[in-house]
Chain A
Amino acid sequence: MSDLKLGFPGNEKNENFETPDNVAPPWDATTKFSVMGKPHPRLEAEDKVTGRAKYSYDIRFPDLIYAKMLRSPHASARVKSIDISKAKALPGVLYSEARQGLTVRYAGQGVAGIAAETEEILDDALALIEVEYEVLPCAVTVEDAMAPGAPQVLNGPNVGGRPGRGKERVDAVHKDADIVVEAEYRTQVQTHSCFETHGCVCKFDDDGSLTVWASTQSTFFTKTAIARAARVRPENVTVITEHMGGGFGSKFGADDWDRFCVLAARATKRPCRYLLDRRAEHLIAGNRPDSIQKCRFSANKNGTLMGAWVESWGTAGVGRGAGVQNPTIYRFRAAGSEQKDVRTHAGRGRAFRAPRHPQGVFALEGMIDEVAFALGMDPLALRQKNDAHPVRSAQWPVGQKAIGWRKTPRGNGAVKIGYGCAGSRWGHNARPGDAVRCRIGKDGSVLFANGSQDLGTGTRTLIAILGAEELGVPLSFVDVRLGHTTDPYGHASGGSVTAPSIAPVVKQAAWLAKRELLEHIAKKIGGDPKKMELTDGDVLGGKKKITFKQACALLPVDSIDVTGDSRNVFRVPRFSREVAGVQFARVAVDTETGLVKVQKIVSVQDCGQIVNELTVRSQMLGGVIQGLSYALFENRLLDRNTGDMVNADLLNYKIAGARDMPEIETIPFNVAQGGTTAGVSSLGEPATVPTAGAIANAVSHAIDARVRSLPITPDKVLAALGAL
């Protein structure tokens, strides 16, 4: 039995653990890292700053053709007829499809498609298609879709969802509590607005094999879906995603337009590109569902949270999945929710960076503040009193100090200062199933290969760092190939599973390759391979010291080529059950104009074992900025009568820009987490969860009135002040 030391300074614990013979020994709090945990620029950074990086959108061939679909301007309609003959007659039009008789359920649904020699011909052709619609009544808000006599969106009732459980118990707890607070919170629909829109480039080779350059968060899901759509055997499909321009949860698998692209490529025997235009990206490529959350919370005068009951409604358009993560995070005597999922005539919601969490936490943390106000307690103190998580409990004081909690007074002028905070929870989400290939060449080259994708999170660099660390060589020795489905399987990048799942597998592949290398070298230079080690590029413990490159040159084979997988590397004790984070905001609110200016955000985020400090900070920064954008600006606006989106561009759908930026202090919180041999945790999603809640609480503190609706626009601030 050996000991595993887990946790962080001030809260460490020892776990008994014996490493199996065939498994890389786990890293813990006592591990001295040489590459891990430091800031490393990402491997592909130079390609991205010089314009060399090729995204799917950038893949070109001399005979490339372009595809696009005509999209319904109506949210609810029946297609009576489509006349595509004029379009087909246009020189340069190569392929077309008309969906006669289609029932349209949301604005933007594809009605007909064209593939053509150039994008200009494509636009001309689409303008020549004549569609006759029978326009039907639509319902695009939760209220309209729930009203008596509302048009039915799909088969079955518009309102679905899970019945709540345990309401009687919560009601009983409320009765015993000293105070009860009730309020209704609302959040908006947010579109992913990926800068590289959804889509792909498809190319058939003469032998019938198909290559797809896809902008996807899952090369392997895309491969399966495209193979099915094109009726090609999966083994004849290769999906490539070298670089991709943002997904945020909206890019799993293949879509309707990808299917059209692949059919056009096959019919014309030409490579074909279809990436959505900006308007379609807003309308049909995913969104975060909205919510109405009726909350009833109770507490005792000593600051003990008692009961929490939430009834919520939301819409994911024609899809489902509009729930909220509320109540959560804090210890309640009894808590529960009933969540209704309402179908409307609008584009389908998709997973969006921490689905359900930011909207739920906005309402939850608002309620916690309202309870604190009713109790006359400091809201931070109330949180600390009711938070049992070992990591978050340590994070609250760190954030409190960094923001200077409520040190600046509200002020007597028109501009008021306020402070707010909020927390987050997330799963560790390390999932078995990944495999990573490690190849060490006689020439000293090191390659790690995996077929999954780097969304811009820094996965490629993370793999290189983990590999270099375990192998005991400088980072510069290591290359990584990512995003080709000809390489071993890698998970879809959703749920923040990528880093925690692949980390122990990279470590395992490197460890296996290292053992094999040392066994070969021991025979050449003498020594016990079990006692030999590779450290900082040197082979130590043999009869003589040689460098890694010299060792590789001595290999009796051309290369060592091993594949590490996830067997056994997940059976490691874990420090805490959930990933924890807290954020603090300081805002300045102009009570005359209603304008909110965020001055500073502090994010303290549990990262498990930090692999790359630089990209960890980038993830945290991005989480905060997207959260700020959600809190103050973003809002998909649908015309209630026509169901069409009135701000389907990046001018009127506002996302945060440079001048909206506060000072953002990122404080990565390293925890020797265990759970896998690498101890790496989920980061991308939890980093964005608390921001809107923290900002909203700061606004309410500043103006001494509560805005219970996102985004917090000037009109809502003025209304809360009674000035409108």
Chain B
Amino acid sequence: MADDKIRVSRRDILRGAGAAAILGTALPASAKEAAAKAPAGLTRHGPGAVPVSIGLNGKAAKVMVEPRVTLLDALRDRLDLTGAKRICDRGACGGCTVWVNGKTVNSCTMLAIDAAGADVRTVEGLAQNGKLHAVQAAFVEHDALQCGFCTSGMVMSCAALLKNNPKPTLDEIKAGIAGNLCRCGTYGHIFNAVQEASR
């Protein structure tokens, strides 16, 4: 978060972690310096853009991103999939939820390069053959959305919940979406929608 240099933000840590993980060193003062000192035998990624290939909603996709770019930013700014939203920017709200290899992930806390070779599904790829997923249809029917900004993430979490637990109880639904926040206050209608979709 460049709004305040004193703080170490999630983006700063991720940015460092991207380089550190690959270089096998402690958190570097700057990615550029650290990259220049890469020990022999390790692949250097960046600091410039690197190619990343992912399976995206069932199709192969390739994108050029700096190693510090999050999966969320790659999806939104480079691959034109703007369904997932950056709301809290630190894995606290679930607005950026996508599936990576079938599991829900806060895409704001995952680097795009770490998704290389993975199967990524976004809310845009949830409906199949033009038919809404049962969760999506139930969200429409029960008005489980207001401003709709949290909806993409909510839908992905709810659909994942039903995949793992087709007949959840109310408490299980609440636990299943505990990582997704909604500001307008739609939770009650979301519970109704998930219960409907599980029938």
Contact = CB atoms under 8 A, between A and B. Distances in A.
Nearest to B133: A49
Interface stretch (B19-27, B33-41, B186-194): B186-194
Nearest to A45: B140
Interface string A54-95: 110110100000001111010000000000000000000000
A573 B105 CA distance: 56
Contacts of B5: 70, 73, 126-127
B90 A649 contact: yes
Q: Is the interface of B mostly helix, strand, loop or mixed?
A: loop
A49 B90 contact: no
B187 A625 contact: yes
A58 B127 CA distance: 20
B177 interface: yes
B89 A277 contact: yes
A664 B95 CA distance: 24
A195 interface: yes
B139 interface: yes
Contacts of B95: 195
Nearest to A283: B3
A397 B180 CA distance: 36
Contact of B132 (A44, A49, A246): A49
Contact of A196 (B83, B147, B152, B178): B147
A456 B81 CA distance: 22
A618 to B, nearest CB: 5
A159 B26 CA distance: 52
A651 B10 CA distance: 12
B185 A625 contact: yes
A649 B150 CA distance: 16
B60 interface: no
Interface in A33-50: 39, 41-42, 44-46, 48-50
Nearest to A195: B149
Nearest to A197: B87
B88 to A, nearest CB: 4
Most A CB atoms within 10 A — which of B6, B82, B84?
Answer: B82
B82 A658 contact: no
Interface size class of A (residues with CB under 8 A): 35 or more
A447 interface: no
Contacts of A655: 181, 183
B4 A119 contact: no
A514 B162 CA distance: 47
Contact of A658 (B92, B123, B140, B174): B174
Contact of A618 (B66, B84, B174, B186): B186
A622 B184 contact: yes
Nearest to A626: B185
Contacts of B177: 658
A611 to B, nearest CB: 13
Contacts of A68: 2-3
A58 B77 CA distance: 9
Contacts of A614: 142-143
Nearest to A244: B147
Interface size class of B (residues with CB under 8 A): 35 or more
Contacts of A677: none
Interface string B67-87: 011000100110011111101
B136 interface: yes
A657 B186 contact: no
Nearest to A627: B185
B104 interface: no
B140 A650 contact: no
Interface string A626-661: 100100000000000000000001110001111101
A280 B143 CA distance: 31
Nearest to A69: B3
Interface string A244-265: 1110100000000000000000
A122 interface: yes
B93 A245 contact: no
A245 B148 contact: yes
A657 B178 contact: yes
A123 interface: yes
A49 B1 contact: no
A108 B182 CA distance: 25
A279 B1 contact: yes
Nearest to B84: A51
B126 interface: yes
Given A245-B149, A278-B88, A46 B140 contact: yes
Contacts of B152: 51
A195 B150 contact: yes
A167 interface: no
Contacts of B114: none
Given A46-B132, A123-B11, A41 B188 contact: no
Contact of A73 (B6, B142, B155): B6
A457 interface: yes
Contacts of A55: 82, 85, 149
Contact of A50 (B88, B136, B187): B136
Contacts of B87: 195-196, 278, 650
Contacts of B173: 658
Given A50-B124, A279-B3, A658-B174, A457 B140 contact: no
B29 to A, nearest CB: 12
Interface in B130-163: 132, 136, 139-143, 145-152, 155
B107 interface: no
Interface in B1-17: 1-7, 11
B175 interface: yes
B1 A650 contact: no
A127 B4 CA distance: 8
Contact of B143 (A45, A69, A120): A45
A456 B149 CA distance: 9
Given A41-B140, A655-B183, A119 B148 contact: no
Interface string A87-127: 00000000000000000000010000000001110110111
Nearest to A246: B147
A58 B86 CA distance: 10
Given A51-B81, A70-B3, A664-B188, A120 B145 contact: no
B17 to A, nearest CB: 15
Given A60-B80, A279-B1, A650-B87, A195 B183 contact: yes
A167 B139 CA distance: 53
A126 B2 contact: yes
Nearest to A71: B3
A455 interface: yes
A70 B151 CA distance: 31
Contacts of B73: 119
A42 B83 contact: no
A417 interface: no
B148 A50 contact: no
Nearest to B185: A625
Interface string A2-46: 000000000000000000000000000000000000010110111
Nearest to B141: A41
Given A123-B11, A457-B146, A657-B178, A57 B85 contact: yes
Interface of B: 1-7, 11, 66, 68-69, 73, 76-77, 80-85, 87-90, 92-93, 95, 122-124, 126-127, 132, 136, 139-143, 145-152, 155, 173-175, 177-178, 180-191
Given A57-B82, A246-B149, 9 more contacts: A45-B140, A60-B82, A277-B3, A456-B146, A456-B148, A622-B186, A624-B185, A626-B183, A650-B87
Closest 4 CB pairs of A and B: A51-B83, A625-B185, A456-B147, A245-B149
16 contacts: A41-B143, A50-B124, A57-B82, A60-B80, A68-B3, A71-B3, A120-B66, A123-B11, A195-B150, A195-B181, A195-B182, A455-B147, A456-B148, A621-B188, A658-B187, A659-B174
Interface of A: 39, 41-42, 44-46, 48-55, 57-58, 60, 68-71, 73, 108, 118-120, 122-123, 125-127, 193-196, 243-246, 248, 277-280, 455-458, 614-615, 617-619, 621-626, 629, 649-651, 655-659, 661, 664
